[in-house]
């Protein structure tokens, strides 16, 4: 019995051992499977993370590449437009001069054809630039007061002769209930309407073109207007309608050959309207005509304009006596710029005090106590920003509150903001527009007494130059020419010296200093070369590259000086 029990116990022990081994095996297998599953999961997660990280890096690279491409495109367009514009402006300008020299009838026809072609090319260049700005989201719109009736009238006056040439009737209708003064970008609105009316005129052989402006809705302080341009022209095929506002789109190659154009006009119109919060649509039937209409919202002006197209335009009807006796401190280190500005200020009836640098300006402010300061920005020893900060922070009343108007050749929005941030009150670019300068002086002379805050700042086109001015008398012109002939070779010599010594900052400063002088004498080629030298020195280009441009500048200056000597002889004869 005991033997059997021992045998059973032995058998049970063996079976228990076998069972235990099996359990161990199962546990080990389970652990192995668990490890494999976990490892696989980790591998999958790692691969997924690696892929995601890879794609994220690729997206970042693609984004950076796209941004670089946009910058390259903008840089290319800016450079190429400048390079094309400069000779085209010269061609157009010289053609106008030749037309005034009593050419024969045949010569006149050729010259008018040259002028029309060059003007058209400039329009195309401007269209391409506007489209690029709009697509890049860099289009900046003005908010100034303007008269809609005057804007519409100026467009019809401009296109009236063209309509007569084609025996077309051009009519306009502006709702009498539209407020007289609106706030918006008058230049861009003019561009939109002019594009649409010109487009209708191009594709209309007989009949009429109508421009109609009506009120859709008027709320407190703003009005929604609808502009409609309709014609009796060739119309637009139905299949083209969905893409009519796309870039470089025309109905057919036959249309392009017959009527010309780039197909950019309508695309720019659409961009300009929509970027200002408006909408545009078109209705058309082949051989019956086309109707373009767009709607835009305009704030209403709180007060009426005294005169002109916008608040900063012509001053023809304003009495010049309003500036008589105004004490103006002109801070300008360039003698030619100083002479021209002083001549214009004298014509305004101002009493002009001049300072060649910032230190002299601070001394004259304390002694002369001027009413207004015209402040150059880039000067040796002390910049216009530094002078302004000393006036604002260290001088007592009322000297610290004298209105300061910046005068600079750098006419960008960032430069304007920097001037205002430094404590200046207003901004005008060089070469300045005489009407613009007069308006700003008038505003600040009145604002000083009335305690008015800063006005709206409007970017203005500069006058072509000294010889386009009707205010500069022959003696002043002769003085400016003599000064230019005397100082320019010295400035070029200094620039060559700075380049050889590798002093690019001094080179850039010298180029910037004399650049407005080249604008004054109506020589865009010289101004362009000088701008290149300024840019090259700022970019840290090699001596050899800058030397090449300096040689071009020196040769161009020699030619210009010879022409100016001829101009001097003419002034002496007259």
Tell me the CB-side half-sphere exposure of residue 6, using CA atoms within 13 A. 3
**pLDDT score for 298:** 92
Q: Which of 281, 299, 304, 277 has its CA nearest to residue 218? A: 299
Q: Which of 339, 410, 328 has its CA nearest to residue 361? A: 328
**pLDDT score for 231:** 92
Confidence class for position 240, pLDDT limits 50, 70, 90: confident
- Per-residue model confidence as pLDDT tens digits over 81-139: 556 665 666 676 667 767 777 888 888 878 877 776 676 676 666 666 666 666 655 56
Longest CA–CA separation in the chain, Å: 155
**pLDDT score for 73:** 62
Q: Which H/E stretch holds residue 222?
A: strand 222-231
**pLDDT score for 26:** 58
Which residues does residue 376 pair with via DSSP β-bridges, in sequence order?
407
CA distance linking residue 561 with residue 574, whole number of Å: 20
Degrees (nearest 5) of the Cα angle 74, 76, 78?
65
For residues 389 and 78, which has the higher predicted lDDT (pLDDT)? Answer: 389
- Per-residue model confidence as pLDDT tens digits over 296-325: 999 887 644 444 333 333 444 344 457 888
Mean pLDDT of 396-410: 83
Which residues does residue 500 pair with via DSSP β-bridges, in sequence order?
none
For residue 508, count other CB atoms closer than 10 A to its CB. Answer: 20
**pLDDT score for 459:** 34
CA distance linking residue 447 with residue 441, whole number of Å: 10
Question: Mean pLDDT across the chain, nearest whole number?
Answer: 74
Mean pLDDT of 502-528: 74
**pLDDT score for 461:** 34
CA distance linking residue 299 with residue 294, whole number of Å: 17
- Per-residue model confidence as pLDDT tens digits over 157-189: 777 777 888 888 999 999 989 988 898 888 788
Length of the chain, please?
574
Radius of gyration (C-alpha) of the chain in whole angstroms: 36
**pLDDT score for 304:** 46
Mean pLDDT of 323-333: 87
Is the overall model pTM greater than 0.85, yes or no? no
Residues with Cβ within 8 Å of residue 231, at least 6 apart in sequence: 200, 201, 203, 204, 207, 208, 209, 210, 289, 290, 291
Contact between 344 and 471 under an 8 Å Cβ cutoff? The reply is: yes
For residues 326 and 81, which has the higher predicted lDDT (pLDDT)? Answer: 326
- Per-residue model confidence as pLDDT tens digits over 177-231: 998 889 888 878 888 898 899 888 888 888 999 999 999 998 878 899 999 999 9
Q: Report the share of the chain in percent with pLDDT over 70.
A: 63
For residues 380 and 268, which has the higher predicted lDDT (pLDDT)? Answer: 268
DSSP string, 440-481: HHHHHHHHHHHT---------PPPS-GGG-SSS-HHHHHHHH
Confidence class for position 491, pLDDT limits 50, 70, 90: confident
Q: Which H/E stretch holds residue 387?
A: helix 384-394
Cis status of the peptide bond prior to 517, with omega within 30 of 0: no
Q: Give how far Cα 509 sits from Cα of 185, 206, 235, 313, Å.
A: 35, 59, 57, 32
**pLDDT score for 344:** 81
| SS3 call for 369 | coil
- 285-314 as b/e, with b when 16 or more CB fall inside 10 Å? eeeebbbbbbbbebebbeeebeebbbbbbe
Contact between 533 and 550 under an 8 Å Cβ cutoff? The reply is: yes
**pLDDT score for 19:** 56
- Per-residue model confidence as pLDDT tens digits over 347-392: 888 889 888 888 888 999 988 889 999 998 878 778 889 999 999 8
Confidence class for position 9, pLDDT limits 50, 70, 90: low
Tell me: pLDDT of 250 over 80.
no
**pLDDT score for 399:** 87
Domains (range + CATH), the chain: 1-139 (1.10.287.130), 144-299 (3.30.565.10), 320-455 (3.40.50.2300), 468-573 (1.20.120)
């Amino acid at each position: 019995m005991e033997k059997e029990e021992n045998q059973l116990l032995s058998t049970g022990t063996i079976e228990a051992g076998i069972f235990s081994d099996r359990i161990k095996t199962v546990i080990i297998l389970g652990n192995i499977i668990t490890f494999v599953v976990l490892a696989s999961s980790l591998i999958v997660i790692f691969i997924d993370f690696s892929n995601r990280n890879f794609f994220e890096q690729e997206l970042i690279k693609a984004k950076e590449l796209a941004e670089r491409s946009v910058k390259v495109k903008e840089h290319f367009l800016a450079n190429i437009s400048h390079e094309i514009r400069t000779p085209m402006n010269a061609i157009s300008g010289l053609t106008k001069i030749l037309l005034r020299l009593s050419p024969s009838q045949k010569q006149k026809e050729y010259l008018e054809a040259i002028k029309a072609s060059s003007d058209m090319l400039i329009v195309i260049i401007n269209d391409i630039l506007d489209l690029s700005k709009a697509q890049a989201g860099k289009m900046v719109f003005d908010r100034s007061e303007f008269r809609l009736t005057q804007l519409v009238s100026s467009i019809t006056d401009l296109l009236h002769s063209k309509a007569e040439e084609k025996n077309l009737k051009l009519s306009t209708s502006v709702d009498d209930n539209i407020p007289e003064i609106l706030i918006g970008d008058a230049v861009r609105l003019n561009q939109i309407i002019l594009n649409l009316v010109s487009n209708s005129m191009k594709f209309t052989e007989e009949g009429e073109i109508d421009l109609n402006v009506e009120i859709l809705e008027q709320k407190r302080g703003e009005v929604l207007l609808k502009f409609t341009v309709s014609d009796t022209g060739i119309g637009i095929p139905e299949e083209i309608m969905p893409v009519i506002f796309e870039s470089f789109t025309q109905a057919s190659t036959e249309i392009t050959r017959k009527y010309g154009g780039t197909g950019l006009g309508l695309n720019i119109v659409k961009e300009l309207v929509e970027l200002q919060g408006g909408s545009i649509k078109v209705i058309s039937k082949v051989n019956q005509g086309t109707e373009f209409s767009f709607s835009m919202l305009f704030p209403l002006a709180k007060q009426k304009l005294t005169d002109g197209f916008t608040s900063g335009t012509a001053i023809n009807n304003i009495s010049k006596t309003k500036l008589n006796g105004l004490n103006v401190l002109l801070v300008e280190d360039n003698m030619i710029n100083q002479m021209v500005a002083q001549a214009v200020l004298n014509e305004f009836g101002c009493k002009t005090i001049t300072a060649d640098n910032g230190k002299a300006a601070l001394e004259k402010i304390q002694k002369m106590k001027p009413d207004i300061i015209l402040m150059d920005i880039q000067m040796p020893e002390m910049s216009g920003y530094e002078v302004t900060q000393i006036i604002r922070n260290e001088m007592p009343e009322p000297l610290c509150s004298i209105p300061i108007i910046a005068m600079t050749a750098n006419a960008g929005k960032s430069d304007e903001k920097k001037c205002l941030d430094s404590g200046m009150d207003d901004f005008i670019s060089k070469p300045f527009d005489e009407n613009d300068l007069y308006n700003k002086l008038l505003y600040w002379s009145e604002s000083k007494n009335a305690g008015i805050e800063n006005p709206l700042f409007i970017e203005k086109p500069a006058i072509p130059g000294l010889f386009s001015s009707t205010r500069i008398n022959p003696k002043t012109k002769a003085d400016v020419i003599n000064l230019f002939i005397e100082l320019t070779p010295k400035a070029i010599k200094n620039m060559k010296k700075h380049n050889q010594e590798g002093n690019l900052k001094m080179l850039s400063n010298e180029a910037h200093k004399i650049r407005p002088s080249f604008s004054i004498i109506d020589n865009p080629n010289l101004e362009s070369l000088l701008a290149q030298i300024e840019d090259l020195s700022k970019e840290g280009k090699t001596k050899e590259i800058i030397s090449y441009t300096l040689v071009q500048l020196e040769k161009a200056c020699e030619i210009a000086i010879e022409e100016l000597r001829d101009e001097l002889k003419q002034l002496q004869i007259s």
